[in-house]
Structures are given as C-alpha cells and as structure tokens.
Structure 1
C-alpha cells in the first residue's frame, strides 16, 4: 500500500506546476508572435522521457510489475468509467461557455486548437503503439505504450486549463484531477503499465501546448480569410433556456 501512496503523490506532484505558464489573454494570432517559453515543455518532456527510459530500464520495469501487483490487490472488479472520463475536461470547456462562463478564446479558435491537439496526440500515440508493440499487462494485445485514454484525458485537461485557467485556477486543477483519475483507472483495469500512463500524460499535455502555438498557422492555412465559424455563439439564460446561434460567411 505504501507504493500505492507513492503513485498517488507522483501523479499529483506535477499537476500544480502545469499552471505556471499560460498564454496571455490576447488573440491566438498575437500569441504566436510572442517569444515561446520553452520552460512550459519541461514537465511533459520529462514525463515522456521517463516512459521511454522505462522501455529499457530493468528498475522501471520492476516498478511496473510492482504497481500491477498493487492494482491487483486493490481491484474488486473492472470499470468503464475511464472510457468516459477521458472526455470530461474537453466537454467542460463547451459546457462552461454554454452556462455563460467566458473562456479565453472564441468558439472557432478554441475548436481549431482542440482539433489540432487531437491530431498531434492521436498520430503520436498510434505511431508509438505500432512502433513499440508493448504487451498490455492483461496480455490481450501488443499496443500498450503509450496509453491513449490517458493522453486524451491530459490533452483535454490542458485544453480546459488554457481556456479557463485564468478565470479560476480550480478549473485547471479539476481537469488535471479527472485526467489523473483516468490514468489511475487504466492501471486499475489492468490495461496499462505505469510507464504507459506517464508517457500518455506527457504526450497529451505537450500536444495541447504545441497546438496553441501552431493554431494561428493552421487557422490561416485551412480557413484563410473565411470567417465561417465567426458567427457561432452559445447562450444559456436563467438556467431554463439554451440556444445556439449560427451565422456563416462565404
């Protein structure tokens, strides 16, 4: 059980530090012109590096086995919560906006940023799964590394942090707690090793951070001067009515 506590502490240690670097409340176009702060990449890069070192490190492999034993001792029966919790932070961004909480960017910009992050994350995760072919702890397949569920959850958590972290730090913290729980459940369900989860977390965070840097280029490349999404507005009034207003220009 002591090792289980160490795991929980390790998951929580890096979470507060992730909120230290945020994009200033300007438009995405203005953000790309500012000097990129590479310090914001330290934590996700460290997480990813740990996972890659773990592919060859006997010590980390032993720790993986030890963590699986801890999970086996805790497990009563499996759960499907992690199949849904991975999406909670990203859905929360649009739900908060619908309830009248204003985020940093408009619907178009944040949706393009999310889509860009998803492409980066998905391509990286699937590529590594095929390249490494690590067997899952339950022995069902050879695509354990890294954890896609965890990568999605942490990508979404950083998305929530980017959009609402300056409104209240608790939005970002809550997103990362949900993501950490998703990673924990992937191990609890015997679907992933500890290194799979840690690497997935790093990939997810890094994907969103990179997405917010390159989104202005993606926006101009895909849409050019066409403000097709400019007129999308989500309104929530008095707890009783909900509406989506759409207008498009061609």
Structure 2
C-alpha cells in the first residue's frame, strides 16, 4: 500500500513522463529547487521554447528587416532581381523590347549630357565639403571614399559585362548589361546621400534625380535596355555601400602604415574621376 506522499510523487512522475513523450512542440522545462524536492510539493512550471525547434516569429522577421545589412542591400538586391527577370534571356516581364519600341518610335535624341551627369552627385558632395558644408566625412576622406567606390563600381560592372555578354539594342556590341553610366551615377548619388542626406532630404532627392536622368538618357539614346539600367542602379548602390563598409578598415591600415608620409588628392582627367596618392619613401 502506497502512502499519500508516495501517491503524489507517483502521479507527478507519470505527468512528467507524458510531457516528455508529447514532443518538442509542447515540451516544458521544469526547475526543481532543492527545498521543493525535500518537501515533496508540486514545483512551478514554466514552458520554454526548446532549442531544437526554431520558429520564424514576427520578432525574428523584425530583427531581420531592421538590421543595417538588410537596409543597405534590400534596394540593390531588388533592382538586380528585377533586372535579371527583365532580360531577354529570362524575359519574365517582357519589358525590354516593349519599352524600346515605344522609345524609338517617339524619341530621337542625340546628346552627351549623360557622360557628364554620372559623376555630378559625387562632385557636388566634394564641392559642398570644400565650401564648408559639413558632411559625414571631411573632404579628404570623401575623396578617398569616392575613389574606392569608383574602383569597386568599375570592377563589378566591367566583370558583369563580360560575364553576361548581352547584346546592345543597336546590335553593335555585347557589353550591354549592366549600364556603366547608370552604375556610376547611382554610386555617386549614394555617396551624396550618405554624406549629406541626413542634413536635408533635398540632397538625396537631387542626387537620385540626376542618377535616374542618366539612366533614362541611356535608354532614350538607344544605348541600353531597361534591364541594363536597373542592374546598373543596383550595382552602383551596392558599390558605394561596399566602399563605406571597407573604408574604416582600409583607413586604419593607411594611417598605421603610412602616417604623415602620404598625401591623397582628387583627380579629374579626360572625363574620368579618381584620386592621386603621393607617398614619400
């Protein structure tokens, strides 16, 4: 015959065994303090989510979409995805040919304005810094960031052109995807945004308006498909984001290795923009 205390402990053992067999979805973890075990009382239970069961909750989604990495890459990733889906090889949207027919039927444009517009937002950022408008970085660091973003952008765009081998609308070459002009323009616009967008939204609006106009001119002149321009915008934004991500580490290495023995100056030559580094050996 089992006494009252033994019966209670038997019931608790049975409940605990059934709980373990119920599976991870309803499993509860119970803590048994030493004084509770000695008294034979029923301990309080608190259900916890087991480590083996990972639930994609609204909180997890918020942490993902609210992370800095997501905010910096979501727009470039979306533009690149739309560009790929719109190319002739994939042609989900069937927009490239349709837009070109409309443009060539209605627009006959000859201009070189797009050649000058692509670097205007970045030069505007440097100009604002030179006249004393305080941005996120000083003039020298802005010039270095511009040079780094320009290098990353040119490398990514050139390699993508060779890799994709897309024919231009006029059929004169196979380096259409993505648009180099649009890529450079959006890279420069993103630099202006990061340096001065926090001071006034008009800097942001101006930079992206110039970049969008550059892409539109490339389509109007029949130099690129719409997918080329969308891809160029995505690569351009991503290039500047990469430059701002890499630059703090690169700056530390330059300061540590060169100290006061190096001078870096912005450079503009034959339509190309970059930086010149002078190192005293």
TM-score when normalising by structure 1: 0.74
Q: 1:147, CA displacement in angstroms? A: 0.2
The 1:137–1:170 alpha-carbon spacing in structure 2 relative to 1, beyond 3 Å, is same
- Name the CA distance, whole Å, in 2 between partners of 1:36 and 1:228: 35
The 1:68–1:100 alpha-carbon spacing in structure 2 relative to 1, beyond 3 Å, is same
Q: Is the 8 A contact 1:112 1:219 kept in 2?
A: no
Q: Select the structure with the greater relative contact order (CA < 8 A; seq sep ≥ 6).
A: 1
- Name the CA distance, whole Å, in 1 between partners of 2:213 and 2:219: 10
Gap regions ≥5 residues in structure 1: 1-34, 233-247
Determine the structure 2 residue equivalent to 1:124. Answer: 156
Determine the structure 2 residue equivalent to 1:77. Answer: 109
Gap regions ≥5 residues in structure 2: 1-66, 266-278
- Name the CA distance, whole Å, in 2 between partners of 1:93 and 1:228: 26
Q: Is the 8 A contact 1:121 1:207 kept in 2?
A: yes
The 1:75–1:120 alpha-carbon spacing in structure 2 relative to 1, beyond 3 Å, is same
Determine the structure 2 residue equivalent to 1:58. Answer: 91
What's the Cα RMSD here? 2.2
- Name the CA distance, whole Å, in 1 between partners of 2:172 and 2:255: 43
Larger Rg: 2
Q: Is the 8 A contact 2:144 2:264 kept in 1?
A: no
Q: Deviations over 1:45-70 (max 9, x none)?
A: 1101222233332333x310111112
TM-score when normalising by structure 2: 0.66
Please tell me whether residue 110 in structure 1 is matched to residue 124 in structure 2.
no
Equivalences, count: 200
Please state whether the residue corresponding to 1:76 is helix, strand or coil: coil
- Name the CA distance, whole Å, in 1 between partners of 2:73 and 2:163: 24
